[in-house]
Structure 1
Amino acid sequence: MNYDLPPPNEAQIRWIERLLQPWNWLTEPVYLSTYNIPKDGPVLFVGNHSLMGGLDVPLLALRLYQEHDIFLRILVDHAHFKLPLVKDFLARLGEVEGTSENALALMRQKQYILVYPGGAREAFKQKGEAYQLLWRNHLGFARLAIAAGCPIVPLAAVGPEECYDIVLDREELLQTPLGQIMERFRLRRDLLPPLVKGLGPSFLPKPQRFYFKFGRPIDSRPFAELGEEAGPLALRDQVKLALEKEIAELQEYRKIDPKKEFWRRILPF
């Protein structure tokens, strides 16, 4: 694993900008409280996964690099790295398989890391689970932050969740022949995405406006004094509460945004 991957050069950045320009124009992201981003690494951003995942991350990563000179390293689900071509592509983008060894190595190199503790389960939500943090008993990110003395920045995202509507969620799909095949081969249930629709009946995402908000950094070091079990649990709970607060504040901000609808953003007045 190449932990010390160099950031993209100027030509690559220009190519990425051109590639993302239409999506950036359609979503016109808003970035709030960027003053909470620490000037030096290591930093662990902990975010909420949007439905289907991935629609917001490229824009966020590009913005952090352009405005803050941060080359974001993203911890992704192990399943992505089992696919040879996908694995190579993700690695070139700076994405890293989400193992404790990889995360700790990045922290020791003082890098900026993004993790979604909800993983695939949170990205592949069921009906009625919008904006819920489905972290279950995951404590890995908290243990690693304490071990490395790494601050955690809650990173809330609002907007991508509404790019799709769920037609059939996982539990409903499991009642279909596809679900029966998964049960037969004992495949991971959390890797079964819901059946969704975006624009009309298509899979094209709706052009919702994206909102990002960076919470105050949480110092992980005091939690080491609570012990190996209580420390990570307390840190995880504090991060979760902080992230839920940031999400709620972003939702309120969106309500009063005069340009939250796409048609208002494209009007010349």
Structure 2
Amino acid sequence: MSVTKIDEIMNPPAHIHTVRKVVETIADGIDPLVELYRPYVDGLENLPRDGRFLLVGNHTQFGSETVLIPYVVRREIGMRVRPLTDRRFGDMPRPISDVMAACGAVVGSPEGAAELMEHDEPVMVFPGGGREIGKFKGEQYQLRWEGRAGFARVAIDHGYPIVPVALVGGDDVYVGLTSRDHWVGRLSEKVSEKLSGRSDMAMPLVRGIGPTLIPRPQRMYLRFAAPIETTKPARTAPDTWVHTVKERTQESLEAGLGELLKIRQDDPYRELNPLAWRNATRSG
């Protein structure tokens, strides 16, 4: 990442400030819409009030976590979350790139994350990246980190606690029709590799309501887990501690997903049935 890009992380151009004001005005006015969907939110007490924390979450095929998590954090502690995005998003055309920048998004890199942490900004990352979005049959709520531990290393370097944040609901909006090892799945991987050079970005064949691609109405369930301390103990090798923090984060996130799936299973409002509104499961 160039010096110019680093400078723009904390001091974006004037037109980005203008777009940011518009985005924040919209965000301040969507409370009634969010309340209509009544998301289940738990663990807000686990958010450090000083904003010095790294949110580590799971991607879903609907992407609702990228909007809901920053919205909930801003409403709770009054601070803007800074998402670390896939490098490819940095090449997106305007106005999409402008809106992403106005929302605080930064192309994921050790330098970019370090700059945000040096300014005590709340940061959010999805270690699975884009490969975690396309879910074939049977892959719902599975983490695909492929050994990635860079988030743990940068958090350790800056003394940032990690708050795992699990979201359930986004992988139920669409239903995968075939497994990854089905011939359709293998064909999709080949097409993905030819177009992008990566087979792990294959998109599955899915359906929404009935045979259509209209999203299935689903309630979202969000849980912020207890912060994971990243201060390295004495006499622990740096690489060993990075691996330990990464494993603890993954285990906490997977546990959160499991707990939310159980809550969702017994919730009569999980499919946003208005008749079950009054009986919706409440957060603790």
Instruction: State the TM-score, normalized to the length of structure 2.
Output: 0.82
Aligned to 1:3: 9
CA distance in 2, matches of 1:228, 1:94: 30
Question: Would you say the 8 A contact 1:225–1:231 is kept in 2?
Answer: no
Counterpart of 1:237, as a letter, is E
Question: What CA deviation, in whole Å up to 9, does each residue of 1:89-117 have, x standing for no partner?
Answer: 31122111111111111111111111111
- TM-aligned CA deviation for residue 71 of structure 1: 0.2
Aligned to 1:74: 83
- TM-aligned CA deviation for residue 242 of structure 1: 1.0
- TM-aligned CA deviation for residue 200 of structure 1: 2.3
Aligned to 1:240: 250
Counterpart among 10, 13, 36 of residue 24 in structure 2: 13
What does residue range 177-216 of structure 1 map to in structure 2 within 5 Å? 180-184=190-194, 187-216=197-226
Counterpart among 150, 162, 168 of residue 160 in structure 2: 150
Counterpart of 2:9, as a letter, is Y
Question: What CA deviation, in whole Å up to 9, does each residue of 1:177-221 have, x standing for no partner?
Answer: x65554446622223322222222332321111011110001101
Question: Would you say the 8 A contact 2:165–2:223 is kept in 1?
Answer: yes
Percent of residue pairs identical: 31
Distance 1:182 1:267, change over 3 A: closer
Count the aligned residue pairs.
Answer: 265
Match of 2:113, SS state, is helix
- TM-aligned CA deviation for residue 265 of structure 1: 5.2
Match of 1:46, SS state, is strand
**Deviating more after overlay: 33-42 vs 256-265:** 256-265
Question: Would you say the 8 A contact 2:135–2:171 is kept in 1?
Answer: no
Is 1:138 aligned to 2:144, yes or no? no
Aligned to 2:105: 95
Distance 1:223 1:120, change over 3 A: farther
Aligned to 2:240: 230
Distance 1:149 1:210, change over 3 A: same
Question: What CA deviation, in whole Å up to 9, does each residue of 1:62-82 have, x standing for no partner?
Answer: 222123202011111112222
Question: Would you say the 8 A contact 1:42–1:108 is kept in 2?
Answer: no
Counterpart among 54, 63, 66 of residue 57 in structure 1: 66
Question: Would you say the 8 A contact 2:232–2:238 is kept in 1?
Answer: no
Query: Unmatched 5+ residue regions in structure 2?
Result: 280-284
Counterpart of 1:129, as a letter, is E
Is 1:249 aligned to 2:262, yes or no? no
CA distance in 1, matches of 2:228, 2:37: 29
Counterpart of 2:99, as a letter, is F
CA distance in 1, matches of 2:20, 2:266: 37
Is 1:165 aligned to 2:165, yes or no? no
Distance 1:32 1:205, change over 3 A: same
Query: Unmatched 5+ residue regions in structure 1?
Result: none
Counterpart of 2:271, as a letter, is E
Instruction: State the TM-score, normalized to the length of structure 1.
Output: 0.86
Counterpart of 2:138, as a letter, is G
Is 1:129 aligned to 2:139, yes or no? yes
Distance 1:130 1:35, change over 3 A: same
Question: Would you say the 8 A contact 2:20–2:99 is kept in 1?
Answer: no
RMSD, aligned α-carbons: 2.7
